[in-house]
Chains A and B, each alone.
Chain A
Amino acid sequence: MSGATLERGIHAFKEAIDAPVASFFSSCVRCGLCAHACLFYTETEDPKYTPIHKLEPLRRVWQHEYTFWGRYAKAFGLSKPVTDEELGEWESLVYDSCTMCGRCSMVCPVGNDIAYMIRRMREGMAASGHAPEGLIGASQRAVTIGSPMGVKLPALQAQIRHLEQDTGLSIPVDVEGAEYMCLLSSMEIMNFPEYIGAIAKIFKQANVTWTISSEAFEATNSGVQIGVSDIAAELVQRVVNAAEKLKVKAVISPECGHAYFAIRWEGPNLIGKPFNFKVLHIMELMDQLREEGRLKTTGKETQRLTYHDPCQITRRGGVVEQPRNLLRMVAENLVEMPEHGTMNWCCGAGGGVSSNERADALRLKVFSRKKAQLDAIQAEGLVTACSNCRIYLEEGLEENNMDIPVTSLTETIAEHLADEGQTGAQ
C-alpha cells in the first residue's frame, strides 16, 4: 500500500474512535468472557486470541488521546506509545484470527461491540501498512479490474452464456427498469456459477424482472475486509451508479456474507448519503416471494439437514428467520445446531481470513468448533447462504473426514421449483 506509515496509521486510529468506541474501552473490566465466545480462542486456548486483546494498540491510542489522565500521562512522558513493530505483531491478531463475526459483541457483559471496533481498527492497520498481502492484492484488483479475483466481464459473459444454454432461460444484462439488479461475488462466478442459473429459474417462476449490470456486477467489498473505507466507498459507488442508471427498485446481494453487510449496512454511510433503492439479500427476496405465494416448490429433501448462519447475514445483518422459512418448504427433516441463529459459531473464514494464506492453518484448526456443532446433531447435510462459508466449510469437513455435503440455499430452492401445474406434494 503506497503511502503507508505509522503516522497515518495512528491518525486513522484516532479518526476511528467515536463515542461508542470510547465507551466500550471505558467499560471493559477484563472479565475474559469475550474469549470464551470466540472460536479462535476456544479452539486454541491461546489467550492472545481474546477479542478485546486484539484491540490493544487502539485502546492505548484512545487512552492517550481521549482521556484526561491519559493525555497528562502522555504529556509527562509516562505513556507507552504504539510502535510500528507492535502493529506488525498485531497484524495477525486483527486479520488472521478475527472474521468480525461479532459473537464476542453478543456476550460482553458490559455491552462492548468488539467486532465494531475491529472493523474500525483495520483502518489504522491498513493505513500503517500492516494488512495481509492477500487482502492488499484483492483490494487492488477490486479497484482496478472490478473484481478482487480479477474476474472480468468477458469471463462473466461466458458463464452467463453457458447457464442460458443449460437452463433455457435468458439472463438479462443491463436491462433498464428491471425491478431488481443482482450482484454476484467473484467466488460465485468462479466456484458456484450455477447460482446465476438458480436465480434465473426462481425469478422466472415468480415472474420477477431482474438484471445484472455489466458495469457493476461484483458484490464482494474488499475495502470493508481490509479496512480501507476509501476503497470500500469506491466499490459501493459503482453499484449505486449502476442501480441508478438502470432505475431498479432494489439491489440484490448474493450468497456472500460480508458483501451483504458492506452494501446493506455500511454502503450509504461509506458514500455519505442514503440510497434511493432498497438492498435485499437474495434470501430476503425469496422469502418475500414465498409470503406473496409467488414461490412454488415441490418435493422435499429427506436427509437430516441443518442450516449454517453466515455471521454477516444473520447476527450482523438481521436476516434470521428467512432461511428457515424457505428451508421448511423443501426439507422435511430440518434440525438446528445447538447454537444457531444470532448465536451461531463462525465458519472461521470470513472477513478476509480466507484470502490470507498465512491464516490457513489457524482457520482449519478452529473448524473443530463447527465440527462439534455438527456432531452434536448428527447432521447429514449442511445448507448455507454464503459461498465463502460454503467452500471453507467443505474444506473443514474434508480435513476432518466428515462426509456431509454442503449446498446453497438458493440452489436448493431452485432445484425444488414446481413446474407449472405441479405444486406441493411430490
Chain B
Amino acid sequence: MSANGAAPLLAVRDLSKWFPVRSGLLVERTVDHVKAVDGVSFDVAEGETLGLVGESGSGKSTTGYCILQLLKPTSGSIKFEGTELTSLGREQMRRMRRELQIVFQDPYSSLDPRMTVGDIVGEPLIVHGIGSKRDRRARVRELLDVVGFNPSFTNRYPHEFSGGQRQRIGIARALALSPKLIVCDEPVSALDVSIQAQILNLLKDLQRDFGLTYLFIAHDLAVVRSMSDRIAVMNQGRIVEIGPAEDVYTNPQDPYTQALLAAVPVPDPRAMKERKARRRQLRHALAEG
C-alpha cells in the first residue's frame, strides 16, 4: 500500500473490539455488544503520519489502544514490522514496547504526581534495563533537552508545571526507548492554542530528526490536517474514508466526511457565511439519507 512498494511498518487488518453489555441480577449474562471498533484496516509506512480523525465514540482511541495491546482486540490482525502483535506472549510484547510508544491526551492525569520529572522520563530505561545509573541520568537530561524542557528541573514534580510543559515531559518519556512508532492520542486537545502550536511544532521536529512514524489520533480536523500525510476518517467504529490528507479534505467522497468538514468553524468570517449555508444543506441530506 505504501508508495515505494516496501512493506509497511504497521499493518492493521479487520481489527475489531467489541465490549460486552452485561445484564442480570445474580448471574450476569452478555446480552449485547458495543462495537467500538468494527473491522478496521489500514497501513502506516515508515516515517509517515497517519491521522485518525473522528468524533467522540467513533473508536479512534480504542483503535490506538488495540494496536499497543493496551486493550485486547476481539478479532483481527496487527502486524508491526511483520510480527503479529495479537499472538505475542506477555514477555515478548514487553520487549516489543521499546518500538511502540504512546503520548496521552491529558498531561495532568497521565504523569504520576509522586514521581519527579527525572524518574518519570527515566522509568522506561529502568524497566528495560538500559544503561548504568549514570548513563540513564545523562540520557534523561538529553531527552528533556530535546523536547525543550529545562533539564535542570529533573528533581521537580509534575504539578509545578503548566499543561504544555507536562506534555513535553510525556513526550520525553515516550522517546526514552527510541521507538519507531508513537501513537499520539489527542496530544494537544487539553492545551490552549498558543501552547498547542508549540507542541505540534515539536512533534514535527522530532519526526524529522528521529525518523519517527506517528499514528496521530485527534478530533480536531485542522490539527490532524497539519500533522498528517494520510488521513483516515472514523465513524461508529469504521473507517468511512482514507487517503492522502489533501484529497480527503479537498474532495471528500463519503457523506459523513463531507458533513464533518463542513461543520468546522474556520477563522475567516467571509468563508464562514458560505460554510454555514453548506453545512445546513449537508445536515438535511444526512438526516434524510
A, B: real partners: no
* Chain B interface residues (CB < 8 Å from chain A): none
* Chain A interface residues (CB < 8 Å from chain B): none
